[in-house]
A and B are shown apart, each in its own frame.
Chain A
Amino acid sequence: MTIKALIFCQVYHKAMVKVLEEFKRIPEIKKVFSLTGDYDVLAEIEVESSDELYDAFAKKIDPIEGIVKTNTHVIMKSWEK
Chain B
Amino acid sequence: MQNKNIFYIIFANILWSLIPVIVFGLFNEISIITIIFLRFFVSGIILMIIAVLVTYINNKYSSSQPLRLKDLFKFAYSKNESFFKLRYIYYFAILGFFGIILQIIFFFLALKISSISLTMIGFQIAVIFIAIYEHGAQSEKLDKFKGLYIIILVFSIGIIILVKSQESARFSLIGFFYIILFTLCLTFFQITINKDSYSKNEIKLINQNEVYKVPRLLIKISFTFFTGIILMIPFIFIIYLIPVQTDLTSEIGHFYSDLSNISQILLRWEILFLIFGSTIFPYLLIFIAYAKWSPYNLTYRQWNCILTIIEPIGGIFFGVLFGVDSFPTEFLFIVLFLLIITILLRYIHESTNKVNAYLLLSKKNGTLQGLSLKIIKFSGVFSIDSLVGTHDILVYVRTNSFREFRYLVDEKIRKLKEIKNIKILFINEIIKIKS
Contact = CB atoms under 8 A, between A and B. Distances in A.
A34 B385 contact: no
A37 interface: yes
A77 to B, nearest CB: 5
B233 interface: no
Interface string B195-221: 000100001001100100000000000
A32 B431 CA distance: 5
Contacts of A27: 435
Contacts of A76: 385-388
27 contacts: A6-B385, A6-B389, A8-B425, A20-B431, A23-B431, A24-B433, A30-B433, A30-B435, A33-B358, A33-B431, A34-B428, A35-B358, A36-B428, A73-B391, A74-B389, A75-B394, A76-B385, A76-B388, A78-B207, A78-B385, A79-B207, A79-B373, A79-B383, A79-B385, A80-B376, A81-B203, A81-B206
A57 interface: no
Interface of A: 4, 6, 8, 20, 23-24, 27, 29-39, 42, 71-81
Which interface class (under 10, 10 to 19, 20 to 34, 35 or more) fits B?
A: 20 to 34
A6 B394 contact: yes
Contact of A73 (B198, B206, B388, B435): B388
B245 interface: no
B238 interface: no
Contacts of A39: 425
Contacts of A30: 432-433, 435
Given A37-B425, A75-B386, A80-B382, 11 more contacts: A24-B433, A31-B433, A32-B433, A35-B425, A37-B423, A74-B387, A76-B387, A79-B372, A79-B384, A81-B206, A81-B381
